[in-house]
Each structure stands twice: as C-alpha cells, then as structure tokens.
Structure 1
Amino acid sequence: MGKSVSVAAARLKKPSWKDPRLLIGLLLVLGSVAGVISLVGSADRTTQVFAAREEIAVGQVVTEADLAIVKVRLDDVEAGYVTVEHGLTDSSVALQRVAKNQLIPRESLGVADALDRKPVAIAMEEELPAQAVPGARVDVWISMPGSSSAFEEPQMLLPSAEIAGMTTGNTTLGSAKTTVVMVLVTNEQMPKLLGAQANKAKISVVWNPAGAVR
C-alpha cells in the first residue's frame, strides 16, 4: 500500500524543466508551430507582375499604360516574366504577340532592332474561317499573272505565317466585302511578297490549323 502511494505521488509531482518528457513535448509543439508558419508563409509568397490590359501586337511600343499589375505565385518560373520590382525598360517593343490578360514574358519584349518579322497587309475578298484570328497561322499562296489573261499555277510563298491583325470593310464602290489580313513576314521573305503584290499576283490566304506557335 505504501509503495502504491509513493508511485502515485511521483506521478502527481510537478514536472521539472529537466524532465525529458517535458522537453520532448515542448520540441514537438515548437516544431508543429514552425511548420504551420512555414506553410502559411510559403502559400503567401506572391509576386507583382505585369499583364496585358488589351492584346499587344508585334512591333507595338509597350508602356506601363498598356499593362496592369497582378499578384501571382510564380515560384521557380518568376525569372521568365516582367515583374514590377524590375520595372519596364524604356522603348520596349513587343517581339511576340501577347494576348489580353496574359502575363508578360521577358522574351516577348525587346528593342525595335530585334524585330525579325514585320506586318504586311494582304487584301482579299475570300472569307477566312472564324479560327483565323490574331495569333493564328496561315499559309500564303501566290499565282503570278501569265502571258495570257490566266494566272500561273499557285505556289506557296509563306508557310505558317502568323496573323498580326485583321480588319474588314468594303471596296471603294461598296459592292464587295474586303478583308485585310496583317501577316508577319521575315526580312528574307519580304522581297518575294512585295514583288508579288507589285506585279498584281493573285494572293490567297489559307488558315493553317497545324501551324507551329512561335
């Protein structure tokens, strides 16, 4: 009986700071709190980056007025986007099309001298499918005038060219609907297209659903 009382008294005795059980419990609590703080801090690590207010076309000078500021969590890919912290370079020009509300990739901006494609207007009376929108790809075919009133066999001049923009309207007499497609053309391809236009070749634009995204 005396031994049982001694054991019970030992259990009810106020623990000492040197009690290993108390130290282990304290470490577990501290570890749990630190884990929660780390998790919350990690989830709240957002970065202020720029996004396009409206669509940005290739060759367009981009200023902060064209951009909105959004908070997003980018983690390891943060270096690939234009952040508010690093700011926007003066005289930045869009080297690639940026869709509305899209974050601004660093590689999409540069200087005008870095542009390797320029928009050229192609007027056509044929209708393009609804999928042929800015950013989509088209093949440009030409038929040069022949010796008679007929045209030569069509040849593909620009494979998988990107549409920079489109406008629709009527001809001068208002009798026919005309679509003007702005197609991005490289410096190497430019003389052939301008030559075809100067020689009044028949130019056709065909939507290319398999066109590679640049």
Structure 2
Amino acid sequence: MGESIGVAARLRKPSWKDPRLLIGLLLVLGSVAGVIALVGTADRTTQVFAAREDIAIGQVVTEADLSIVKVRLDDVEAGYITVEQGLAESSVALQRMAKNQLIPRASLGVADALDRKPVAIALEEELPPQAVPGARVDVWVSMPGASSAFDAPEMLLPSAEIAAVTPGSTTLGSARTTVVMVLVTDEQMPKLLGAQANRAKVSVVWNPTGVVR
C-alpha cells in the first residue's frame, strides 16, 4: 500500500508552484533570450560609404565616387559617414583615401579647411616606382644661373606628400613628361610657384622615411 502511494506521488502531474518546473522554465527562457540577443548583435550592421577608387586630397567627393557597404562598427560608428546621414554637398577630401577604404567623418570637409593644396610639377625625369599617391618626396630646385647653366640644387619642399601621379604623353621632339601633384602649404606655396615661374629645374626624390630633414 505504501509503495503504491509513493508511485502515485511520483506520477502526479507537476503543479505550477513546483520549484523544479519554475527553475526549468527560467532556464529555457534564459537560453532563448541569449540566442535572440546573439542573433540581434550579429545582425547589427550599418550601411556606410567607402571609396570606389582612390580619392586625392582636394578632390570634390560625390556619391558617384563612393560605394555602399554593410559593416559592424559598434562604438566607432560616430567616426564614419553612414548612408542614413548622407553626404554633405560640396564635400572635399581633406585627406587621401584608398580604394575600398571606409570614409571617416574627419576626412571630408569644405575647401577652406584644406591646410595643403595640390600643385602640379611637370617632370621629364623618370620617377622611382615608390613615388605613388600617399608617398613622401623631397622637392629640389635648381635656379637658372647667369649663363645657361643652373645653380646648385637646393631642397625646397622636404617630405611633401604626393596627391596624384599622371603619366604624360610624348610629343614630337620632346621627352616624356610626368605630372606629379604634391601637397603644399600656403607658407611654402610662393617658393614653389616662384621657382616654376623662373623656369627652375625641379626634381623629385623619394623620401622613404617621410622625415623632414
């Protein structure tokens, strides 16, 4: 008889007040909530702009120059330009951006915010392969002397950054010309423009360290 009562107690339908049932429900609910939170976190991506091609300093940037990518930025989202926020009109690149690079908010602004401006230097000499956009070069000039010779070269712009390189074409009877756009501050600008106006011989030397000497 006692054994039958024990079996019946074990087979009795559990009550909602049964601690074991409540603990089990809490464990299930906790597991489900954890999965939902994990899925929600994994899917928390943001649409942001990225450079479709290399963007040079001073270049006017429109949405045609950009592509849209979905990335997870979390706490650093405020530092990048999202598609939801949009691109401001007349945006100008304040720093160089490489192809496929996300667009930092600080990299775009107005033209008046540029502290360096690109100046074209036409060169007939061959550039080293390392002289690419973003690389640093020293710009040397040799002013015309009293005779047909030039004075000794002097460094005019130490560690100037290259904004762009445009291979030129060869015309009949002339050497091949390459145009290098270097970034020049307003303080340095008169020296370079003056040298070019006086037909100085300008040379560009790759500066592998980027150090101003």
* TM-score normalised by structure 1 residue count: 0.90
Structure 2: runs of 5 or more not aligned: none
**More divergent stretch after superposition (189-198 vs 16-25):** 189-198
Measured in 2, the distance between the counterparts of 1:158 and 1:175 equals 27
**More divergent stretch after superposition (56-65 vs 143-152):** 143-152
Partner of 1:85: 84
Measured in 2, the distance between the counterparts of 1:121 and 1:145 equals 20
How do residues 39-188 of structure 1 correspond to structure 2 at under 5 angstroms? 39-170=38-169, 172-188=171-187
**How far is the alpha carbon of 1:146 from its aligned partner?**
3.6
Structure 1: runs of 5 or more not aligned: none
**How far is the alpha carbon of 1:73 from its aligned partner?**
0.8
**How far is the alpha carbon of 1:149 from its aligned partner?**
4.4
Q: Which secondary structure state, in structure 1, belongs to the residue aligned with residue 8 of structure 2?
A: helix
Measured in 2, the distance between the counterparts of 1:92 and 1:20 equals 64
Letter in 2 for 1:40: V
Identity %: 83
Q: Which secondary structure state, in structure 1, belongs to the residue aligned with residue 82 of structure 2?
A: coil
Aligned residue-pair number: 211
Partner of 1:193: 192
Distance 1:146 1:18, change over 3 A: same
Letter in 2 for 1:61: V
Letter in 1 for 2:36: I
Measured in 1, the distance between the counterparts of 2:101 and 2:67 equals 10
**How far is the alpha carbon of 1:151 from its aligned partner?**
3.4
Measured in 2, the distance between the counterparts of 1:4 and 1:24 equals 29
**How far is the alpha carbon of 1:27 from its aligned partner?**
0.2
Per-residue CA shift, 1:115-166, capped at 9, x if unaligned? Answer: 1111111112222222221122111122233445443333222122111111
Measured in 2, the distance between the counterparts of 1:156 and 1:13 equals 96
Measured in 2, the distance between the counterparts of 1:31 and 1:20 equals 16
Letter in 1 for 2:115: D
Measured in 1, the distance between the counterparts of 2:74 and 2:173 equals 55
Measured in 2, the distance between the counterparts of 1:14 and 1:173 equals 101
Partner of 1:20: 19
**How far is the alpha carbon of 1:5 from its aligned partner?**
3.5
**How far is the alpha carbon of 1:25 from its aligned partner?**
0.6
